[in-house]
Amino acid sequence: MKKSLLVALSKYRPTEGKMPLENFLTEAFAWILENNTDFSIFFIEQIISKLGVESEYTVKNHSWSTQVNFDGKSPDMLCEINTRTGQVALVFEHKAWAELHNNQLLNYRNYANEYYSQAYIILISATISQHSQNPDLALCWSDIYAWIQDWVKENQESGFIFQDFLDFIKHNGMGPPAPISHHAIIAYYPASDLKPQISNLIKQVEHKDWASIVQMDDFGLYVEDRKGSLYGEAWGKVGLHFFYEWTPTIFVGFLLDGKDHCTKPLSSQSPDFVINLSFSKHLHNKYPHNTNYQQFIKSISKEVEQLNNQWDFYHHIEDKSAKCINKWHPVHIRKPMLEIFRGTETTEEQVEKFMQAAQEIIGLIVKCEHFKKLRDDFRPNP
């Protein structure tokens, strides 16, 4: 009897040596293959075609299983095809963003060659850069995404499960490539190819209607222009400011290098999307003791916490574990850049996600009466 989808996904839990995302991906995909014979046959035929094997197999006579024991090793998914000359195995290893373990595919191959008349090792991963250890066929999840799209369109399939699975692949950054790709974000710290793309994004969001979002009389949008830097880049950040006077100003954008700010990113795999409050030097000994500043911190920290969607409120000057304190930028409201752009495909979608995230936090800040009073307290004399 075929198991239900919920039963299949009940395997989705952290286990030693297994990534939960990869388990979830595998169980959901295997469930689709087990429960839709037509798609399953289509998928196997695509694999056989890519392998370049002259198929004498009757692919209708096949079965799917997950987490099969290969003498203590467990490939993610196995397709067994019965033929006149014996059983053929398609052995699948699924990777999201993790790398293969040492000799992982070789271990599968050695076992499969002993127990099957023919065996093929298929690796499916998030990016081409993960293709190693000489599988018989290496694919990306974006290839699977395209195959499913083509099959659904050709067969006019209306079942929700296919679209949900496509949405899941896309949400985790493994669908069609976006202008600022999931992989480029993850690769930022070892290789800084991401900066020009972020700078280009800032050029586009700069022209949005920020005045209607900030709604304060002294609103004045500007982008720092530093010689030798990319557009919008200064002090390790790329983004926009909303007040000329740092009493305080609001910054929105990306913190790519936290050395100047004396901060570390929330995730080692991603720069932060951040909304900063920044004060001029002559206020560094004044604002921490200001009543409106203290009330603002108390109020805004609670509101951010209540959003309950991965926003982190970081009051930097109160971080006793920080190796240094930067009083220019005491408040960071942030989340990983990966979370902001998760599931996007186009520049337009990424601009929209940027605006949604910025508006969510900036809306809270400018509506806070203590923020307005704080700026009044430190407003320069006319």
Give the tens place of pLDDT for each residue, 279-306.
Answer: 999 999 999 999 999 999 999 999 999 9
CA distances to 236, 253, 280, 381 from 246, rounded to whole Å, are 18, 17, 5, 14
Task: Give counts: helices (H), strands (E), the chain.
Answer: 13, 11
Which pLDDT band, with edges at 50, 70 and 90, does 16 fall under?
very low
Which pLDDT band, with edges at 50, 70 and 90, does 6 fall under?
very low
CATH of 5-171, one of 2.60.120, 3.90.550, 3.40.50, 3.40.1350: 3.40.1350
% of the chain exceeding 70 in pLDDT: 91
Asked if residue 342 has pLDDT above 50, the reply is yes
Q: What is the DSSP string of 278-345?
A: E--GGGTTTGGG-HHHHHHHHHHHHHHHHH-SS-EEEEGGG-TT-SS--TT--EEEEEEHHHHHTT--
**Helix 347-367, helix 369-377: angle, nearest 10:** 70
What confidence tens digit (pLDDT) does each residue in 168-184 have? 898 888 888 778 777 77
* E-only strand ranges, the chain: 62-66, 77-83, 86-94, 118-125, 137-140, 233-234, 237-241, 249-255, 272-278, 312-315, 331-336
Q: What is the DSSP letter of 18?
A: B
Q: Strands 118-125 and 86-94: what pairing?
A: parallel
Three-class secondary structure of residue 221 per DSSP:
coil
What confidence tens digit (pLDDT) does each residue in 73-125 have? 999 999 999 888 789 999 999 998 888 888 999 999 999 999 999 999 999 99
CA 237, 242, 244, 246 dihedral sign is negative
What confidence tens digit (pLDDT) does each residue in 360-380 have? 999 999 999 999 999 999 988
Could you give the CA distance from residue 148 to residue 156 in angstroms, rounded to a whole number? Answer: 11
Q: What's the whole-number mean pLDDT along residues 24-49?
A: 92
Q: State the greatest distance between any 2 C-alpha atoms of the chain, in Å, as a whole number.
A: 92
CB 261 within 8 A of CB 316: yes
Taking residue 291's Cβ as centre, other Cβ atoms within 10 Å add up to 11
What confidence tens digit (pLDDT) does each residue in 305-321 have? 998 778 999 999 999 88
Which pLDDT band, with edges at 50, 70 and 90, does 58 fall under?
low
Three-class secondary structure of residue 181 per DSSP:
coil
CB 253 within 8 A of CB 274: yes
What confidence tens digit (pLDDT) does each residue in 199-244 have? 999 999 999 999 999 999 899 999 987 877 888 999 999 999 999 9
Q: What is the DSSP letter of 344?
A: -
Could you give the CA distance from residue 135 to residue 89 in angstroms, rounded to a whole number? Answer: 14
Q: What is the DSSP letter of 378?
A: T
* Identity of residue 165: F
Give the chain's mean pLDDT. Answer: 88
Tokens of 55: 């198929």
Could you give the CA distance from residue 165 to residue 29 in angstroms, rounded to a whole number? Answer: 8
Q: What's the whole-number mean pLDDT along residues 257-266?
A: 92
Asked if residue 7 has pLDDT above 60, the reply is no
Q: Cα–chain-centroid distance for residue 162?
A: 21
Among 136, 125, 134, 131, residue whose Cα is nearest residue 88: 136
| pLDDT attached to residue 189 | 67
If one compares 359 and 170, the residue with the highest pLDDT of the two is 359
CB 61 within 8 A of CB 41: no
| pLDDT attached to residue 5 | 56
